[in-house]
A = this chain, B = another copy of it.
Amino acid sequence: MGQGDYRILHEAALRDYLAGLPELRALLGGEPAAWAITEVGDGNLNLVFIVKGTRGGIAVKQALPYVRLVGESWPLPLSRAHYEYLALSRQAQLAPGLVPALLHHNETLALTVMELLEPHIIMRKGLVAATPYPRFADDITTFMARTLFFTSDLALTAAEKKEAIAAFAGNHALCKITEDLIFTDPYRIAEQNRWTAPYLDALAAALRDDMELHVAISRLKLKFMASPEALIHGDLHTGSIMVTESQTRVIDPEFAFYGPMGFDVGAVLANLLMAYFASAGHERSPGERHAFEGWVLETVEQVWAGFAGKFLDLWRAGASGDAYPVSLFAGEKGAARLEAERQAYMQRLFTDTVGFAAAKTIRRIFGLAHNIDFELIEEPKKRAVSEARAVRLARGMMVEAVAFRTIADVTGAARKLRDWQPELSG
């Protein structure tokens, strides 16, 4: 089947298509004509349908041959559905229970059917509503530690790793979106940029003129392009995570490829930090969200500590990959030296994480894609204040990443900026 057989399945065609798949039909239950089909895609790229029958429900995701947010003028290859399917399959093996179950995939239609996550909501929405998620830190750190460790040189032979890198190499159109929208455009004049004007006009101009920042973002961009450390999710913000109080599910790995681990970890931290800075903008009375904000910063700390601890434990439990062969670290002295090197490895990864977290923050304030953490702050001036605080932290994290030695340095800096009053334009 060539790409010529692709067609967009709107409601009626989707109903017919699903009716022809006995397993899904049984899972849904009842007559196809009675199934409730709702388009719910609020992302930027795809169609997403929820289908409910008398017995159960499913989620159906179909890639469009263009960027949904922008339209047909911005084409985007359907092959991303293939890479998403590949990544989701691998994540399901490595982190069972932390991604939606895969029920069906049709490569030609760029269509994937998954378990319906109910009553999960997009985590970002919960954070805007000041909802703490007590399971989140433990779950997301398990997800990241396992998906990153087991696809890295610590767990794979060099041959397996090269083949795996090659298997995702074709997903470069999705990588390019990241390269442009995160690592380039926010730092120059670009048509798609936007920010909370006029209040952040001077700050936007300052970033465009900040050559230390441009060097730092360019180093991160190069690392993103040419450091295939592990199979990363590639878009691990709080809009790609669905939660209940007791469950966490990571969705939408269509940006997956072999890249730097710090990009995933940094994405989680950045989105928590943005939720923290946005929180002041959502309070109706001073201090109303104080407990929530405390939970957010505690979670930032737990995410790094939990990730690092679990990753190290997997490494200590036995690394079957070609990196750091145990035969070179025999005996007590060898074991001690290897353990010190593991700590150094995590410190380097922490520095990467700090830098990528900063990059993920700045793009949400000056680039094309914003997030509701800030966008739902109705009063623009208040929004600009929250955003300026986040940018101040991010600028420091990017330019002086190594100065942040521990995650407490990050949360400490964030706490200090909680009530900082930036100078605004306009």
Contact = CB atoms under 8 A, between A and B. Distances in A.
Interface stretch (A37-45, A169-177, A197-205, A305-313): A169-177
A5 to B, nearest CB: 25
Given A163-B169, A227-B227, A327-B188, A337 B158 contact: no
Nearest to A337: B211
A: contact size bracket: 35 or more
Contacts of A34: none
Interface string A88-106: 0000000000000000000
A324 B229 CA distance: 21
Interface string A141-184: 00000000000010000110111011001101101100100001
A172 B229 CA distance: 17
B218 A325 contact: yes
A328 interface: yes
A82 B229 CA distance: 27
A328 B184 contact: yes
A334 interface: yes
Given A158-B172, A218-B323, A341-B215, A328 B188 contact: yes
Given A176-B159, A184-B325, A153 B225 contact: yes
A217 B170 CA distance: 32
A226 interface: yes
A257 B159 CA distance: 12
A149 to B, nearest CB: 14
A228 B159 CA distance: 14
Interface in A213-228: 214-215, 217-218, 221-222, 225-228
Nearest to A216: B341
Nearest to A158: B225
Given A153-B225, A153-B226, A179-B158, A337 B214 contact: yes
B184 A172 contact: no
Sorted nearest first, the 4 A-B pairs with minimum C-beta distance are: A166-B169, A211-B337, A159-B172, A166-B166
A170 B153 CA distance: 17
A420 interface: no
Contacts of A324: 218, 222
21 contacts: A153-B225, A153-B226, A158-B175, A161-B226, A162-B175, A162-B257, A165-B165, A165-B169, A166-B170, A187-B328, A188-B325, A188-B328, A211-B334, A214-B329, A214-B337, A215-B338, A217-B328, A218-B323, A226-B228, A226-B229, A228-B228
A330 B208 CA distance: 10
A138 interface: no
A333 interface: yes
Contacts of A115: none
A400 interface: no
A107 interface: no
A340 to B, nearest CB: 8
